[in-house]
Amino acid sequence: MNDDHEHHDHNHNDSRHHDHEHEHKHEEKSPQAIRAEALESLLIEKGLLSEHAVDDVITNYAQRVGPMNGALLVARAWTDPEFKQRLLSNATQAIAEYDFKGGQVDHLVVVENTPERHNAVVCTLCSCYPWAVLGLPPKWYKDPAYRSRIVREPRTLLAEMGLSLDTNIEIRVWDSSAEVRYMVLPMRPENTDNLTQDELAALVSRDSMIGVEVLCQAGQSS
Amino acid sequence: MTDEMESMALQGRVEPPKANGEVIFDEPWQNRTFGMARSLCEAEYFTWDEFRACLIKQIESWEAAHTASEPYQYFDHFLAALTELMALKDLCETDELDQRSQEFVDRPHGHDH
């Protein structure tokens, strides 16, 4: 059957290290949970889907696709001017050599933050996002509040999210679409000249590549 | 496999993906639904643009009918878009899904224990 992934909800509470995780789970499933389960069982019966394929997708997104890919690109762009040029002029072409899995980067545009201009990314219509380089979008990215306010009042919203930008810094907001996905190239933190590319990549956060954070040394948000 | 190993393995399997330490899925069904949509797309039953169009329609109609202060559940729309698309493609009729869902609701508690 296709529900072995749900056993944990009810059993295994004897295991100390995830007691608190699951003790609040209910016996009753939400209507959506039941509908999703019904859909999966029907699609498996019809041979459109295998449980195994769904598991693989989930594992792939959870473990192999993530903001790390984007961070690698950023670190390389900081240290390799020729690559940076290629990344900014045609990101899809520039990242082809990496063979990142996850999709949604057929038309990737990388926008560069400068001392004069800050960039932020949104999808005002739904939740378009460059999965292959940034993994899955955070919850707030999909919320109506972010989707509308980042366009209407970006400076105020960014400040609320912890990023206060000087009024003389221009803010540009890029609206993702079916055709184009965006990623921000954040500015390199100061005093990082001695760091290797890998060490630099470790400083790059997901939020800095969406443009709701700028990087300080040691990867802290400003 | 020892009990502890087994429970760790289970935990590893059921833990939702995280990015920057943040849980992306609130409940396992959301994770499964995302996995279903991606699997079906990868198997070319539909394109992601087709799915996106359905998702936008769902979100737009919800936003037109609700105020910003009402709780917004992204994955409810995601699931609705997927079921709509499956019906549009004649891959899974809504009636069939309603019926199966009802069967699951009617199952005795503890059926999977």
Our count of domains for chain A comes to 2
Closest approach of chain B CAs to the CA of A134, in angstroms? Answer: 9
| CATH for A185 | 3.90.330.10
What is the token pair recorded at A173? 């907001």
Evaluate whether A2 touches A51 at the Cβ level (below 8 Å). yes
> pLDDT band at B72, cuts 50/70/90?
confident
Residue A129 has pLDDT above 50, yes or no: yes
- Taking a C-beta distance cutoff of 8 angstroms, is the pair A57, B39 a contact? yes
Q: Catalogue all structural domains in chain B, each as residue range(s) with its CATH number.
A: 3-106 (1.10.472)
Least confident of A33-47, A83-97, B68-82, B86-100: B68-82
Contact criterion met (CB < 8 Å) for A5 and B27:
no
State the pLDDT confidence band at B66, using cuts at 50, 70 and 90. Answer: confident
Length of chain B as a residue count: 113
Interface list for A 45-84 with B (CB within 8 A): 46, 48-50, 53-58, 61-63, 66-67
Determine the residue among B22, B23, B38 to mutate to test chain A binding: the one whose Cβ has the most chain A Cβ atoms within 10 Å.
B38
The Cα diameter of chain A in Å comes to 60
d(CA B56, CA A150): 18
Q: Are residue A164 and residue A147 in the same domain, yes or no?
A: yes
- Does residue A118 contact residue A170 with C-beta atoms inside 8 Å? yes
- Closest chain B residue to A11, measured at CA: B113
- Same domain for A170 and A104, yes or no, is yes
| A142 shares a domain with A75 | yes
Structure-model confidence comparison of residues A60 and A64, the more confident one: A60
Burial of A180 (0-12, 13-18, 19+ CB in 10 A): middle
Cα distance between the two ends of chain A: 49
Domain boundary among A30, A46, A63: A63
Q: Are residues A180 and A135 in the same domain?
A: yes
- Are residue A56 and residue A96 in the same domain, yes or no? no
pLDDT at A220 (0 to 100): 47
- The answer to which of A119-128, A199-208, A211-220, B104-113 has the lowest mean pLDDT is B104-113
Contact B112 A6 (CB under 8 A): yes
Same domain for A55 and A160, yes or no, is no
Same domain, A141 and A193: yes
Q: Specify whether A149 is located in the same domain as A205.
A: yes
One domain for residues A35 and A85: no
The reply to whether A202 touches chain B by the CB within 8 Å rule is no
- Distance CA(A80)–CA(A188), nearest Å, equals 13
Say yes or no: A41 and A77 in one domain. no
> Are the Cβ atoms of A144 and B76 closer than 8 angstroms?
no
From A63, A78, A113, give the residue that closes a domain.
A63
User: Which alpha helices (DSSP H) does B43-73 contain, by range?
Assistant: 48-65
Q: Range of A124's domain?
A: 66-219
Q: Between chain A and chain B, how many beta carbons pairs sit less than 8 Å apart?
A: 166
Same domain for A197 and A111? yes
- A218: pLDDT confidence band, cut at 50, 70 and 90? low
Of the residues A39, A63, A87, the one at which a domain ends: A63
**Chain A residues closer than 8 Å to B4 by CB:** 15
Question: Per mean pLDDT, which range of A10-24, A98-112, B62-76 is the poorest?
Answer: A10-24
CB B75, CB B26: distance < 8 Å: yes
Q: Does A189 lie in the same domain as A132?
A: yes
- Note whether A69 and A201 are within 8 A (CB): no
Taking CB atoms and an 8 Å limit, are B32 and A36 in contact across chains? Answer: yes
